[in-house]
Amino acid sequence: MTISSSLNASVAGLAANATRLAAISDNIANSATYGYKRTITDFHSMVIESGAGTYSAGGVRTTNLRLIDQRGSLVSTSNATDLAVRGRGMLPVTTATAVEVANGDIPLMLTTTGSFRTDDLGYLTTTSGLVLMGWPAIPDGTVPTYPRDTADGLEPIRINSNQFAGEATTLMELSVNLPATSTDSASTGETEELSVEYFDNLGKSESLSVEFVPTVPASGSSNTWTMILRDSAQSGAVVGEFTLVFDDTRAAGGTLLSVTPISGGTYDSATGMIDISVLGGPMAVGIGTLGSSTGLTQLSDAFAPVSISKNGTPVGNMTSISVDSNGYVRASFDIGINRVIYQIPLVNVSNVNGLESLDYQTYRATPESGSFFLWDAGDGPTGDIVSFAREESATDVAGELTQLIQTQRAYSSNAKVIQTVALSLADEMCLPVEMSCWVFPRSPLMVLRV
């Protein structure tokens, strides 16, 4: 029984070391694989109850564990959509096959790094067929609130390289000096005009015409003007009319004293903004607060538009995309604007090493890993997303070679035990010469009858 158990234990030792050798071979083979997580083999002894004065060898068993929580070093690349996670969390991906089938069933897989580029359909895809997923933004660039405990809100990220974009003008700032002499009794009352371009909701160029009509008194100076705003998109219709009175005191001469709406708008004395409505919607026009030297002034005898600023842009072509550390995918346009089109969340689970390992350094949630939750990158327990970067393999080749030597010696030792047990059995079973005898040669794989 003891000799037999020795043989069984050594055979188990050979199998266990062969398993460890396979894990080491896999680690070394993937030492240059981006995002690879090394596998370790743990040995567990088996104990068999022995009788008095005897000992029965129970052998050994193995378990394999992939150390997904071990991260490799990050290396720089030249591609803006080469992504790596710095810290806890994983990128959500799916397969290109599932996207192409488009039957509504898109599996969620996880990875820590990937080199994503647009394919012929515009999807951000790796060469191994993994498609990056994220939450889509609405046209104004904001990301709605999506459920965090399910992948239902995630979509394959698709980039339309022929996309156009523009921004409507919603704000103007006017800094204009009106001639004080125009409100004198001796003035001819000449109207001053100013035209400001703006962009409507479709990116078309329109103009807001601003007329300043002085009030000419019978004597003295009125310091009063009527400001009339007309919208070209409404065939020059008046969209706002206001009475402006300027201060003529020594301390605040030339600044606005009062603004009184006549029609089509309101004035906020706290912000210095008048609110009007053009064809595309509301627009705020800044003319300055009361008593301020910025905005509209009335000084000297010259009409001088000092500065005019506004938001909004014409329609432009998309030139590039980028991913920031919070996972926002931004499209940049040749008109100088950029707009959020997707947000990439980071997926976190309670037990990272409990994830199921799949091909191409991807993983899937299991009961052992716990349920997943989608975090904003950089929020909660998660790290951030690094673009222009890849994560190297977590394999330490020097350490694996050391373990390889140890495994080879352990394997050889178990083989030596089998050989020794086989020779001992041959000695015990050998009969007289004239009778048949079983001989166990030194190779544990052969048994000859002579």
Q: Which residue ranges of the chain lie beneath pLDDT 50?
A: 431-450
Whether residue 179 is found in the same domain as residue 287: yes
Question: Residue 422's pLDDT is what?
Answer: 75
Per-residue pLDDT of 258-311, as tens digits, reads: 999 999 999 999 999 999 999 999 999 999 999 999 999 999 999 999 999 999
**How many domains is the chain partitioned into structurally?**
3
Question: Residue 439's pLDDT is what?
Answer: 44
Say how far apart CA 301 and CA 291 lie, in whole Å: 20
444 part of a folded domain = no
Residue 415: partners with Cβ closer than 8 Å, 6 or more residues away: 10, 14, 444
Question: Residue 220's pLDDT is what?
Answer: 94
Question: Residue 174's pLDDT is what?
Answer: 96
Whether residue 174 is found in the same domain as residue 307: yes
Residue numbers of the domain that contains 234: 169-311
Question: Residue 427's pLDDT is what?
Answer: 65
65 part of a folded domain = yes
* Whole-structure pTM value: 0.73
Whether residue 119 is found in the same domain as residue 243: no
Per-residue pLDDT of 58-85, as tens digits, reads: 788 889 999 999 999 999 999 999 999 9
Whether residue 259 is found in the same domain as residue 281: yes
Cα angle at 317 between 314 and 322, to 5 degrees? Answer: 115
- Look at residues 190, 137, 195, 147 and name the one whose alpha carbon lies nearest to residue 301: 190
Say how far apart CA 100 and CA 87 lie, in whole Å: 32
Whether residue 186 is found in the same domain as residue 239: yes
Question: Residue 414's pLDDT is what?
Answer: 85
226 part of a folded domain = yes
343 part of a folded domain = yes
448 part of a folded domain = no
Question: Residue 51's pLDDT is what?
Answer: 66
- DSSP codes joined into one string, 298-365: E-TT--EEEEEEE--EEEEEEEEEEE-TT-EEEEEETTS-EEEEEE--EEEES-GGGSEEETTTEEE-
Residue 432: partners with Cβ closer than 8 Å, 6 or more residues away: none
Whether residue 381 is found in the same domain as residue 332: yes
Say how far apart CA 113 and CA 209 lie, in whole Å: 54
Whether residue 374 is found in the same domain as residue 328: yes
